[in-house]
């Protein structure tokens, strides 16, 4: 068999634990995260798609996040024993079947009914962590009930009311959530031009401006529009009491969020939460050192997927300085801009212990619900396996910068 013939044959069934990549039907044609993005664009009304796909202001950072990965290439070892490859790793003393987790995302109920329940179930079957957002449509308790055996982490936006913060953490701990991820980069509402031009707002309201866009997607209206509680923030509904509307929960969220979070505001949270705690949004060595001094267990190098402050460096550009500063003291994760398994491997080679996946998961949800999420996770797992095998590195914990080369010209979107 020639090399070209072998390369044209795909495995008949890509399976990873109880999660498999579709090999027939519409999903089988989705061979990349970009394919799933295009499928989602065809299924979603434009304001909803742009809400997921878009970034802050001119979207410079959004584009740079991905472009910066493309400036990094590989230096493979072609004579190597790569039998017995494994992606298994461990975070905070517990095994994870892959070096990535499902990152926190709010508003997913606009993409798929019971989206957070779907993600928790698929992550549990895959053996990877799932991070539930403060603004998720499903509550802490519902997710724990749906995926009792899963690795569940909770993401917190800091509220001005310290008692509210404490209650949310107590609920998460009581429900068996093992780690806390505190987001530090969203104290001020960002300016997202696509949302403003589309008249998009949370919770969703029909207006003359967007009604045509929604009417053009009757399938979405049937799946989502008729779903009771779409847009509801389940975690906050329980704090309000009674049966609040989606608008009431969002108003509670917006009014209660702290607009200024300093290190002194994080210390009480560290004192209350007894499990592993990570700060998400750190992109500089200076803040990484302060995080270590606070006593957290990890950080997520993140610029919120380019959705907030525009004009920042890409996270993969920020990662090496953060790892150099605290990599021996903290577990460092990376998110923002990851679209392929090769991106995951590049992050690991530069010192990250794992990655959080965002938009590819959201697009998979919109494209095909639970089957779509299984598909994209199996795809990423397969891509990571291929890359670290072709690199000649049988164990991902042995990959380092010597497997990479850099094009040092400035990355441009």
Task: Identify any residues that bridge with 331 across adjacent strands, giving them in sequence order.
Answer: 298
Residue 128 has a CB neighbour count (10 Å cut-off) of 28
| Tokens (6 digits) for 208 | 């003359």
Closest by CA to 21, choosing from 383, 394, 390, 354, is: 383
Rounded CA gap, 171 and 265, in Å? 20
Task: Identify any residues that bridge with 90 across adjacent strands, giving them in sequence order.
Answer: 95
| Torsion angles phi and psi, residue 100, rounded to 5 | -145, 160
Q: Which of 304, 375, 381, 388 is catalytic?
A: 304
List the helix and strand counts (H, then E) for the chain. 17, 14
- Beta carbons of 137 and 231 less than 8 angstroms apart: yes
Contacts of 405 (CB under 8 A, 6+ apart): 72, 73, 74, 75
Contacts of 168 (CB under 8 A, 6+ apart): 134, 140, 154, 156, 159, 235, 239
Residue 381 among the catalytic residues: no
Rounded CA gap, 387 and 279, in Å? 29
Catalytic residue list: 304
């Amino acid at each position: 068999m020639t090399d070209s013939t072998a390369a044209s044959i795909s495995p008949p069934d890509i399976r990873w634990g109880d999660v498999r990549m579709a090999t027939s039907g519409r999903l089988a044609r989705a061979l990349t995260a970009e394919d799933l993005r295009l499928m989602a664009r065809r299924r979603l009304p434009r304001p909803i798609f742009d809400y997921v796909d878009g970034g802050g202001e001119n979207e410079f950072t959004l584009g740079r996040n991905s472009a910066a990965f493309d400036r990094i290439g590989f230096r493979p070892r072609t004579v190597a024993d790569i039998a017995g490859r494994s992606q298994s790793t461990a975070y905070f003393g517990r095994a994870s079947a892959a070096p990535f987790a499902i990152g926190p995302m709010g508003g997913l109920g606009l993409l798929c009914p019971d989206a957070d329940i779907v993600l928790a179930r698929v992550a549990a079957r895959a053996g990877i962590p799932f991070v539930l957002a403060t603004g998720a449509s499903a509550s802490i308790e519902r997710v724990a009930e749906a995926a009792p055996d899963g690795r569940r982490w909770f993401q917190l936006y800091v509220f001005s009311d310290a008692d509210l913060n404490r209650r949310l953490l107590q609920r998460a701990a009581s429900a068996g959530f093992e780690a806390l991820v505190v987001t530090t980069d969203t104290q001020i509402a960002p300016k997202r031009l696509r949302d403003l031009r589309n008249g998009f707002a949370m919770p969703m309201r029909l207006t003359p401006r967007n009604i045509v866009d929604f009417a053009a997607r009757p399938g979405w209206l049937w799946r989502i529009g008729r779903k009771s509680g779409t847009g509801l923030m389940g975690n906050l509904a329980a704090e309000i009491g009674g049966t609040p509307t989606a608008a009431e929960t969002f108003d509670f969220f917006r009014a209660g969020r702290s607009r200024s979070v300093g290190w002194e505001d994080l210390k009480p949270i560290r004192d209350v939460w007894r499990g592993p705690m990570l700060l998400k949004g750190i992109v500089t060595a200076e803040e990484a050192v302060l995080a270590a001094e606070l006593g957290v267990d990890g950080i997520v190098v993140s610029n919120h997927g380019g959705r907030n402050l525009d004009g920042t460096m890409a996270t993969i550009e920020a990662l090496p300085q953060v790892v150099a500063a605290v990599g021996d003291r903290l577990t460092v994760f990376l998110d923002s801009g990851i679209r392929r398994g090769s991106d995951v491997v590049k992050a690991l080679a530069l010192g990250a212990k794992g990655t959080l996946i965002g938009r590819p998961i959201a697009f998979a949800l919109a494209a095909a619900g639970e089957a779509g999420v299984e598909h994209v996770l199996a795809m990423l797992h397969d891509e990571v396996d291929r890359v670290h095998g072709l690199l000649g590195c049988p164990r991902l914990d042995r990959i380092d910068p010597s497997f990479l080369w850099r094009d040092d010209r400035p990355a441009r979107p």
